Amino acid sequence: MSETTPLTAPEAVAPAHEEGETRARNRLVINLLLVSTFVVILNETLMAVALPHLMEDLSITATAAQWLTTAFMLTMAVVIPITGYLLQRFNTRSIFIFAMTMFSAGTLIAATASGFPMLLVGRVVQAGGTGVMMPLLMTTVMTLVPPASRGRTMGNISIVISVAPAIGPTISGVILSALGWRWMFILVLPIAVASLVLGAVRMRNVTTPRKSFFDVLSVILSAFGFGGLVYGLSNIGTAPDVVWNAWVPLGVGAVALTAFILRQLRLQRTDRALLDLRTFTSPTFTLSITMMVVSMLALFGTVLLLPIYMQNVLHLDVLSTGLLLLPGGLLMGLAAPIVGRIYDRIGPTLLVVTGSTIVSAVFWGMTMLGERTPFWWVLAAHISLSLGLALMFTPLFTSALGALRPELYSHGSAVIGSVQQVAGAAGAALFVTIMAAHAASLMADGAGEVSATAAGIRLAFFCGAIISLFVIPIGFLIRKPKDAVAEPAGGEAAGGGPAADEPAAIGPAAP
């Protein structure tokens, strides 16, 4: 008898007391991962409104300061594709301890940084841990929670993915209004260390590692592919030399990503792919990913552009800007579990169609932003946008991963994480580039800086509104995976092995 017993169907028919212990263990594991992942993802946008303070305190240029965000996203883009292999090869507890140790160490380095280079190193180390946590959380949930109740649990994950980046600027604005920039890291550090210690003591292994082939060439191609795309997109509109700092990395990234895809298609024939692309053979997964791209583009683009509008056009201070963005972030968090329960009951179609329609309507409304737009109008628009995104995130995450075979969960989670980073960078690049280019053109013709900035922001949201129209019809094609409609007795999938869009239920009942 092996020392490590995987979670299989026989465990579901264990005695009642053992099943209760298993449920308690699963609840603890998922809650630990949720809290820890929220803390690490929060740091992705925590620097959004802190750059002017850092430029003054550290005597650095805007381009250098932007690297504190760009390097974070770049590191995550390189790390996330590797997580599919890591989640198959190592235990849950080992990966959790590694990720939270990396994040805590990076936070400590950033909090005690004596200058810009040390602060940048701290952000990179932070991102190394952050990139592992999101796929670890999603894969663990898909393994432990049966299909019939995944929507409720994935709703909690949506809080992590959507709310943490959304309220990052708010939290940093509040901190910076009373304290220095170091406190953004000092206040996070004890929470991260507490999560690490609690996880080291209480975390239990819930998966069985298996030997996996590690292809070094795939890692190199992945780093240049995803890293090049994120770096290039992040520099469009902000780099002084767009050709070398943006278009060349984009070209290198595109070529490397193409080579990476071709290699994965070859290796997956023998189950040796670093990132198994057979996830895209599921229509539901592919369509959900397509909608996620636009959702993340809208989220990150808006999170970046609205603070610029409120501070440079409406002349609000940092604290007021952060507080205006807070209600939308809180609404997204409060709505996510409710949306998850609705998903379990009626499926994703109505939710994603309604959500994408609201998002499109808000974008069209934002094309009317001007120099005299009242702040309450901006607040209402951001709250409405947050509601629309909340209606989309949980159904899309749940439908996408639920449509995969269990052995592809880790790869599907890695794909979603990679898409989030590239789409986030693309959203920021698209919105900022359009705004900056149009504003510069108007100022060259004699327009004032404030009116030119407002016009540039309106044009950026207009382009976003056009893109949003193409997403609404896709929502009608998103379906709930068949296995999630009704869970067979005993926790086993009926009829033998699962089809591509019909994953088997693995593990005990949901907590």
Provide the pLDDT for residue 442.
87
Mean pLDDT, contiguous 10-residue spans, the chain (511 residues)? 42 53 73 82 72 76 71 79 79 86 92 88 89 81 74 73 69 77 87 87 70 80 82 66 73 90 87 83 89 79 78 80 79 82 88 92 89 87 89 86 82 81 75 81 84 88 86 88 49 36 32 28
Q: Among 80, 449, 430, 52, which residue's Cα sits nearest to residue 235?
A: 430
Domain count, the chain: 1
DSSP summary character for residue 256? H
Distance of alpha carbon 331 from alpha carbon 163, whole angstroms? 9
Structural domain contains residue 508: no
Q: Tell me, yes or no, whether 2 lies in a domain.
A: no
The answer to whether residue 503 sits within a structural domain is: no
Cα separation, 115 vs 436, in Å, equals: 29
Residue of 295, 332, 303 whose CA lies nearest to 420: 295
Intra-chain end-to-end CA distance of the chain, in Å = 28
Q: Has residue 500 been placed in a domain? A: no
Is residue 506, in this structure, part of any structural domain at all? Answer: no
> 162: which DSSP letter?
I
- pLDDT value of position 303: 72
pLDDT of residue 223: 83
Residue 27 lies in a domain: yes
Please, are residues 226 and 254 in contact by the beta-carbon 8 Å criterion? Answer: no
Indicate the residue type of 179: L
- Cα–Cα dist 407/60, whole Å: 47
CB atoms within 10 A of CB 36: 27
Domain assignment present for residue 296? The answer is yes
Helix axes 409-444, 62-79, angle to 10 degrees: 160
Taking the C-alpha atoms of residue 225 and residue 241, their distance in angstroms, rounded to an integer, is 21
* Whole-angstrom distance, CA of residue 328 vs CA of residue 378: 11
Where do we find the tokens 């290699």? 263
Asked if the structure places residue 222 within a domain, the reply is yes
CATH number, domain of 119, equals 1.20.1250.20
**Structural domain that includes position 292:** 13-484
Torsion, CA 333, CA 400, CA 413, CA 171, rounded to 10: -20
